[in-house]
């Protein structure tokens, strides 16, 4: 049986991006950046605070910021996907959990709002109970919601 490859760890770009992302969040990276700014500031009198002197820091920080936005987004996308996978595993493995929520990140905004409304009803049911150990289901919330609509003639 062929194992799935790990694209991030085998590709040059994946390894490079992972390394830069880890380093950029480190104390050493902050100290290096702060040191670079300090050296730049201290050289101001040497260059008579010229436009070129200012352009060096502006250009450098703009380029670094531009590239870091993509690396940060890449890392966040990966972290988000991993989190979704872990939550999906918990949902799939937990008896009584609603499998409807597996891959909820792919739902439309309308579907998410509908689920949110149901969970708000569950929260309301839980607030009304004095028994903190009692649980409610989405189905109970749906029944409650249907009863409310019927009572209001909707």
Q: Considering the domain boundaries, does residue 49 fall inside one?
A: yes
Residues 117, 50, single domain; the answer is no
Residues 120, 70, single domain; the answer is no
Q: What is the span of the domain harbouring residue 54?
A: 7-93
**What contacts 24+ positions apart, CB below 8 Å, involve 70-78?**
71/17, 71/20, 71/21, 71/24, 72/21, 74/17, 74/21, 75/17, 75/21, 78/8
Q: SS3 for 135? A: coil
Q: Considering the domain boundaries, does residue 126 fall inside one?
A: yes
User: Which residues in 49-122 belong to E strands, given as ranges?
Assistant: none
Q: Considering the domain boundaries, does residue 99 fall inside one?
A: no
Q: Considering the domain boundaries, does residue 1 fall inside one?
A: no
Q: Considering the domain boundaries, does residue 98 fall inside one?
A: no
Residues 125, 65, single domain; the answer is no
Q: What is the DSSP letter of 6?
A: -
Q: Considering the domain boundaries, does residue 102 fall inside one?
A: no
Span 40-90, pLDDT tens digits: 999 999 999 999 999 999 999 999 999 999 999 999 999 999 998 998 888
Residues 16, 64, single domain; the answer is yes
Span 98-108, pLDDT tens digits: 788 888 888 99
Residues 66, 128, single domain; the answer is no
Span 118-154, pLDDT tens digits: 888 888 877 776 665 666 666 666 676 677 668 777 6
**22, 79 in Cβ contact below 8 A?**
no
Residues 84, 115, single domain; the answer is no
Between 8 and 134, the more confident residue is 134
- Rounded Cα distance between 42 and 35, Å, is 10
**Predicted local distance difference test score (pLDDT) of residue 154:** 63
Residues 123, 61, single domain; the answer is no
**Predicted local distance difference test score (pLDDT) of residue 136:** 62
Residues 81, 121, single domain; the answer is no
Residues 34, 87, single domain; the answer is yes
Residues 88, 124, single domain; the answer is no
- Predicted confidence (pLDDT) at residue 91 exceeds the cutoff of 90: no
């Amino acid at each position: 049986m062929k194992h799935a490859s790990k694209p991030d760890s085998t590709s040059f770009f994946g390894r490079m991006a992972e390394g830069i992302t880890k380093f950029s969040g480190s104390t050493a990276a902050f100290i290096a950046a702060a040191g670079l700014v300090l050296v730049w500031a201290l050289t101001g009198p040497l260059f008579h605070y010229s436009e070129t002197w200012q352009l060096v820091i502006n250009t450098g920080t703009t380029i670094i910021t531009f590239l870091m936005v993509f690396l940060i987004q890449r890392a966040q996308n990966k972290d988000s996907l991993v989190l979704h996978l872990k939550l999906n595993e918990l949902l799939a493995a937990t008896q009584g959990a609603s499998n409807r929520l597996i891959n909820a990140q792919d739902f439309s905004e309308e579907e998410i709002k509908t689920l949110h409304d149901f969970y708000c009803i569950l929260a309301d049911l839980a607030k009304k109970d004095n028994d903190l150990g009692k649980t409610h289901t989405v189905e109970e919330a749906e029944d409650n919601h249907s009863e409310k609509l019927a009572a209001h003639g909707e």
